[in-house]
Structure 1
Amino acid sequence: MTDNRVPPPLTGDERTVLGNWLEWHRGTLAVKCAGLTADQLRLRAAEPSTLSLLGLVRHMAHVERVWFRRVLNGEDIPRLWNKDVDNDADFNDVDTASAEEAFATWQDEIERARVISAANSLDAVADRNGQDCTHRWILIHMIEEYARHNGHADLLRERIDGVTGE
């Protein structure tokens, strides 16, 4: 398993530290999925859960899209993966989903998020369903979201082939 992650710095300004922690967690999910087949990525955790590594990648693509493009940048764009019909479609509909499409979409949303994030101050205020939230809060939330799901990814990967690690 190739691991190209750069450890977050122990010192630095707030934007640098937050940005590097988010990149670390993005990279962690990629590492957890590395080297697996599409069928392995689709393997579910345990019934009744629909959790899978492919579902996590699809979910995080959607999360990146919503928080950076819709909330922070104010873009009027559709939700991914038919989530308007099934809020859990990112997890539920992986049996025939393309792993290549999911990873390409995730990487595209990450790239767009990086551009949007770089263009906004940490104090920029966004509207989330009628409530104000700052760019800073969004970055912290994204770190939390990835950290939580990377814990799931750890367990899923260990179940698939026994691989463990940070």
Structure 2
Amino acid sequence: MTWTAPQIKRREFPAAAGEREMLQGWLDFHRDTLLAKCAGLTPDQLVRTSAPPSTLTLLGLVRHMALVERSWFRERFAGEALEDLYDLERNFDADFDDAEPAGAQTDFATFRAEVDAADATVRDRGLDETFEHREGTLNLRWIYVHMIEEYARHNGHADLLRERIDGATGD
């Protein structure tokens, strides 16, 4: 049996909550949304460039967001020294460009592992905790807002890609 991207039960975002719960809830909602846009597709469909002339694919988005999760939460905020997920030295866009059908299941597992690791890294950290970055001093709150924005933008891409692959639409 051929692997397909798993069905996702998207978590609901909190309607009224404290700041941390609200930020985490919206981030989880957008993480789930990306995976929901991929649900039921085969590896070949996940790497289909369905909106020419763009070379963007759904699997490329999953790989990219795994990298972004790792980069912001673990490497930049927590200062962890981690091996690269992809060969970005060879190709700055390897997360997007090197997506292959044979690696789809592994790439989904990597995404989930990076999300879990990111959440574990910041679970007991305060939103006002800071770190230095080229933009200056940033805090964990900034990362949450940035990640929600990053997912929202890419989920818009995923909407279009999915509709072009099999006609599926949704929120």
Same fold flag (TM > 0.5): yes
1:10 aligns with 2:15: yes
Q: C-alpha deviations, 1:49-101, integer Å up to 9, x for none?
A: 22000000000000000001101110111332111221111111124550011
What TM-score results when the alignment is normalised by the length of structure 1? 0.94
| Equivalent position of 1:125 in the other structure | 130
5+ residue gaps in structure 2?
1-5
Cα distance in 2 between the residues matched to 1:24 and 1:68: 17
Q: Match for residue 105 of structure 1?
A: 110
Change (3 A) 1:71 1:143: same
Q: 1:126, 1:134 within 8 Å by CA — same for their partners in 2? A: yes
Q: Secondary structure at the match of 2:138?
A: strand
Percent of aligned positions that are identical: 51
**2:64–2:95 Cα contact (<8 Å) kept:** yes
What is the CA–CA distance in structure 1 between the aligned matches of 2:8 and 2:108, rounded to whole Å?
17
Q: Give unpaired runs (5+ residues) of structure 1.
A: none
Q: Corresponding residue for 2:151?
A: 146
Number of the residue aligned with 1:88: 93
Confirm or deny: 8 A CA contact 2:66 2:115 kept in the other structure.
yes
Aligned amino acid, residue 120 of structure 2: V
CA pair 3-78 structure 1, distance change in 2 beyond 3 A: closer
List structure 1 runs of 4+ shifted beyond 4 angstroms.
none
Q: CA RMSD in A?
A: 1.5
Post-superposition offset of 1:5: 1.4
Letter in 2 for 1:71: R
Q: 1:132, CA displacement in angstroms?
A: 1.3
Match of 2:35 among 30, 47, 55: 30
Q: Deviations over 1:82-124 (max 9, x none)?
A: 1122111111112455001110110000000111121210001
